Amino acid sequence: MLDLNITNFITMDIQVLISKKGTAVVIASHLHRALGLKAEQFPNHCKKWLADLYEFDDHLRKPTKMKDFAERRLKDSIVPDYYLGIELAKQITLRSNSKEKKKLIQYLNAFLKKYNQQHALNQEQIKLAFELGSIMCSMQAQRDAEEKHKAAFIKSNGKEKDWYSYRNKLTGINKLDLQDQLMRQGKLPGNKNTRSLLFLLDKYQLIRIAVIDLLKSIQKSDQFAKDMGDLAMFFAQKQSLDIYKDTEKQVLQFQQAKTPISADVKVMDYFNKQAYSA
C-alpha cells in the first residue's frame, strides 16, 4: 500500500520520497516535468499513464490504486496529481520517447539498488522467515496472529470499525476481488469468508498474511512485515507445504517458555534477543 506520510530522500531532476512506513514514490507532475513533456499535456498524459497496461513483477495489468499509485491532495488545485510507486514510474519512463529517459532510468535504478541494500533482510531474519513459513501452515496459528494483530491495532487506534479496511490495504487482499476471481473460474463463492476464498485461489497467501499479522502485532514496520511475509510464502511454496487445520489451539507466544519448547515459541524468542531493528 502506498503511504502518503512522506519525506524527501534524494533530490535530482526529480525527487524520490520515502514514507515513514518505507514506501518509495515520485510525484507524477514532477516525473512529467523531468521527462521534458509540455505542462499543458500533463492531465491527458497522467490519465493515460494510469489506464495503460504494464508488465509488473506479478503479471501484465493496469496500475492499482493504493498499491502502485495514490492521489496527491493539494489545496486550490484543479489538476489531479498523484504519487507513483517507483516501479510504475520506471515503466512510464521506459515507455516514453523522452530524451531524458536514459538518465532518469539510471537514476531510479541506482536509487532502488541503494534502497534495497539498505533494507535487505539479514541472515537471522531469513532463517526466521523460513521457520515462519512452516509454522503458519497451521490455520490456528494464522487465526492467532490475526487476533493479536487486531488487538494491537485497536489498542493503538481505538477504532475496531477501521480494522478490516486497514488490514485489507496492508495485505493487498480484498474479499470482493477474491469473489470476482473465483467467479471468473466458473465457481460460485457462496458465503465463504476471505480465508476460505484464499485457500481456494492461492493458499500460500494465507501464510504471507499471517506473518504480516504476527509481526505487526509486535509493532514491526509495514515494510519489514511485508518483506518477511513475502519470503515466508516463497519458502512455503518451494517446499510445497500444506495448510492444515489444527485439532488443538496453538497460541503464539513471545516470551521464553518453560520446557517443552515448541518450534513457534523458539522462533518468537529471536525477537526477545533483539536480533531485529525493523
Residues 29 and 160 in one domain: no
Q: Are 132 and 192 in the same domain? A: yes
**Residue 132 and residue 241 in one domain:** yes
CA-nearest of 49, 88, 90 to 67 is 88
Domain for residue 41, yes or no? yes
Evaluate whether residue 36 is within a structural domain.
yes
Of 91, 118, 145, the residue that ends a domain is 118
Q: Are residues 165 and 107 in the same domain?
A: no
Domain co-membership, 39 together with 79: yes
Angle at 72 between CA 71 and CA 75, to 5 degrees: 125
**pLDDT the model gives residue 149:** 93
Domain identity same for 23 and 141? no
* 146 shares its domain with 68: no
Q: Find out whether 137 and 243 touch, Cβ atoms under 8 Å.
A: yes
Residue 1 lies in a domain: no
> pTM here?
0.55
Among 87, 118, 149, the domain-final residue is 118
- Domain of residue 23 covers 6-118
Q: Residue 191 phi/psi, 5° resolution?
A: -105, 25
List the pLDDT tens digit at each of the 278 positions of the chain. Answer: 444 443 444 445 688 888 766 678 999 999 999 999 999 999 999 999 999 999 887 678 899 887 889 898 887 778 899 999 999 999 999 999 999 999 999 988 888 888 777 767 778 888 889 999 999 999 889 999 999 999 999 988 778 888 888 888 888 888 888 888 888 888 887 888 888 888 888 899 999 999 999 999 988 888 889 989 999 999 999 999 988 876 444 444 444 333 334 444 544 555 555 444 44
Same domain assignment for residues 71 and 160: no
| Total count of domains within the chain | 2
Q: Looking at residue 20, what is its pLDDT?
A: 63
